[in-house]
C-alpha cells in the first residue's frame, strides 16, 4: 500500500510539473508570488480558524468531552500533516491522533472518535458539495463541470453511506472473526468493544452526531471564504459564489483522490480545468493551486513541529487505561 501511494505521489508530482510547463510557468508563478511577503499571513491565518472549527467537529465525535480542546487541536494539526505525507511517513495521521490522546482517553474511545469524525466530516462534505452544485447551476457554468460535480457527489454519498453502514451493522467484529479463522488476527475482543462503542454512539448520541456534522460543514463553508480571500490576494476578480464552486469541486477531488498524498497533481489539474470553465483562465487556476500549496507546506511544517515537541513530552505523561 505504501509503495502504491509513493507511486501515486510520484505520478501526481509529474502531472503538476507538466501543468506548470504547459499552462505557463511564468504567469502562474508571478501571480502566486503576489501572495508572498506580508500577504503570507493572510494566506496562512484563515486556516487556523478552519482547523479550530473542524476540531470542534472531532470533539463532538466523543460521547463526552474528555480531552482538552488544545490537545485535540495539536493532535489534529500533527495528524493531518502526517496524512499529507503518508507516502513518506511510516504510520498514518489517524494513528498519530490516537497516540496524542493516550494520556486523556482510553484507546478504544479515541479510535472510535477518529472513525466517527471521519464519518461526520464525509457527510458534511457531501452536503457542502450539494451546496456547490446548486451554486454552479445558479451561475449557469459549463454543463460538463456541473456533471462532474454531480458524479463526485454520488461517489461521496455512496462512500459516506457505506462507511456509516459498516459501523452500525457491526461489520468490524464480523471482519475480525473472518480473519481469526485464518489465524491472522487475534483481536476479536478489541473489535467487539469497538463495535459496541460505535453502535452506542450512533444510538444514543444523535445530538453530538449532528453537532459534529454541523461544525465540519461550517469548516467547509469557511474554506470557501478562504478560497475567496486567496483569489483577492492573487487579484483574480471572482464572487463568493464562484469561490464556493471552486472550493466544493476541490474538496470533492480530494475525496476521490484520497489515495494520492495531498491529492498532488489531481487537485492542480482540477483547479486548472475549473478556472478555465468558469472564465477565469487556466493560468489563474494554476496560480491559485500553487498558493494553496504554499499554505499547506506551512501547516505541514507546523504539524511536524507539534509532533516532535509532543514526542519529547509524551514520555513523561501517564497513559490512560485501555
- pLDDT, tens digit, 9 for 90 and up, residues 77-118: 999 988 887 755 545 788 899 999 988 888 888 999 999 999
Residue 198 contacts residue 167 (beta carbons within 8 Å): yes
Alpha carbons 32 and 305: distance in angstroms, whole number: 26
Give Cα 317 distance to the centre of its chain. 29
Position 310 scores a pLDDT of 87
Residue 24 contacts residue 286 (beta carbons within 8 Å): yes
Calculate what percentage of the chain has a pLDDT beyond 70. Answer: 78
What band does 297 get if pLDDT is binned at 50, 70 and 90?
Answer: confident
Residue identified by cell 508530482 is 13
> Which of these ranges, 32-46, 203-217, 248-262, 276-290, has the smallest mean pLDDT?
32-46
pLDDT in tens, 233-243: 888 888 999 99
What band does 36 get if pLDDT is binned at 50, 70 and 90?
Answer: low
Position 235 scores a pLDDT of 81
Report the SS3 class of residue 90.
coil
Alpha carbons 269 and 272: distance in angstroms, whole number: 5
Task: Count CB atoms within 10 A of the CB of residue 171.
Answer: 13
Position 24 scores a pLDDT of 59
Alpha carbons 292 and 201: distance in angstroms, whole number: 36
Domain chopping of the chain, boundaries = 107-314
Give Cα 262 distance to the centre of its chain. 9
Position 173 scores a pLDDT of 52
Residue identified by cell 488544545 is 70
Average pLDDT over residues 46-62: 94
- Of residues 28 and 118, the one with the higher pLDDT is 118
> What's the whole-model pTM score?
0.84
Alpha carbons 111 and 101: distance in angstroms, whole number: 10
Element at 266 (helix H, strand E) = helix 266-277
Amino acid at each position: 500500500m505504501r509503495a502504491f501511494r509513493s507511486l501515486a505521489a510520484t505520478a501526481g508530482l509529474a502531472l503538476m510539473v507538466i501543468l506548470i510547463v504547459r499552462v505557463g510557468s511564468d504567469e502562474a508563478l508571478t501571480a502566486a508570488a503576489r501572495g508572498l511577503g506580508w500577504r503570507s499571513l493572510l494566506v496562512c491565518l484563515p486556516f487556523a480558524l478552519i482547523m479550530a472549527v473542524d476540531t470542534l467537529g472531532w470533539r463532538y465525535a466523543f460521547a463526552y468531552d474528555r480531552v482538552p480542546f488544545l490537545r485535540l487541536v495539536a493532535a489534529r494539526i500533527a495528524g493531518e500533516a502526517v496524512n499529507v505525507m503518508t507516502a513518506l511517513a511510516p504510520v498514518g495521521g489517524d494513528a498519530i491522533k490516537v497516540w496524542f490522546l493516550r494520556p486523556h482517553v482510553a484507546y478504544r474511545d479515541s479510535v472510535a472518535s477518529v472513525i466517527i469524525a471521519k464519518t461526520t466530516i464525509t457527510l458534511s462534505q457531501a452536503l457542502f458539495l450539494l451546496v456547490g452544485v446548486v451554486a454552479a447551476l445558479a451561475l449557469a457554468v459549463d454543463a460538463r463541470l456541473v456533471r462532474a460535480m454531480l458524479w463526485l457527489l454520488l461517489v461521496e454519498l455512496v462512500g459516506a453511506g457505506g462507511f456509516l453502514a459498516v459501523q452500525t451493522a457491526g461489520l468490524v467484529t464480523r471482519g475480525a472473526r473472518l480473519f481469526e479463522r485464518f489465524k491472522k488476527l487475534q483481536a476479536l475482543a478489541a473489535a467487539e468493544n469497538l463495535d459496541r462503542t460505535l453502535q452506542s454512539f450512533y444510538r444514543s448520541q444523535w445530538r453530538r452526531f449532528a453537532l459534529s456534522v454541523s461544525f465540519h460543514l461550517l469548516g467547509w463553508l469557511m474554506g470557501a471564504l478562504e478560497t475567496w480571500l486567496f483569489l483577492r490576494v492573487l487579484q483574480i476578480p471572482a464572487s463568493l459564489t464562484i469561490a464556493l464552486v471552486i472550493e466544493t469541486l476541490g474538496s470533492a477531488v480530494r475525496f476521490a483522490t484520497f489515495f494520492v498524498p495531498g491529492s498532488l497533481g489531481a487537485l492542480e489539474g482540477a483547479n486548472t480545468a475549473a478556472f478555465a470553465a468558469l472564465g477565469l483562465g487556466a493560468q489563474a487556476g494554476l496560480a491559485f493551486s500553487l498558493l494553496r500549496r504554499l499554505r499547506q507546506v506551512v501547516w505541514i511544517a507546523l504539524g511536524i513541529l507539534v509532533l516532535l515537541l509532543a514526542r519529547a513530552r509524551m514520555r513523561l505523561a501517564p497513559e490512560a487505561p485501555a
